[in-house]
Amino acid sequence: MKNNLRKCHLYLSDTIHYFHTWTSQGAVKVHPEDPCKDHVYSRTMAIIEDSETGEVIVVHPDNLTFINNEGGQDA
C-alpha cells in the first residue's frame, strides 16, 4: 500500500513521511477590538504518516517537500 503513496519530508526534518491526502481544517482570525469582525475560514492541510513510527499527523502544506523516485525534490 505504501508504494502508492508519495514520499515527503517535513521542514527541517530528514525523516521520510508518506503523503495520504489533502483535507480542510477550520480556522478563525480574531479581531482584537471588535469580535463582530472575527473571520471564520477553511484552510487546506495535508495528512501524512511517519514512515518509522506510523504516526499520522495533519500539517500545513508549506511544511512539506515532496521527494521524487530518485530521491530529489519535486518542483
Region 20-27: what's the mean pLDDT?
92
Percent of the chain with pLDDT over 70: 87
Per-residue confidence (pLDDT) for residue 59, from 0 to 100: 94
Domain ranges of the chain: 2-67
Per-residue confidence (pLDDT) for residue 73, from 0 to 100: 60
Percent of the chain with pLDDT over 90: 52
What is the residue-averaged pLDDT of the chain?
87
Model confidence, pTM: 0.74
Task: Write out the DSSP string of the chain.
Answer: -GGGSEEEEETT---EEEEEEEEEEEEEE--SS-GGG-EEEEEEEEEEEETTT--EEEE-GGGEEEE-TTSSB--
Answer yes or no: is pLDDT of 75 > 70: no
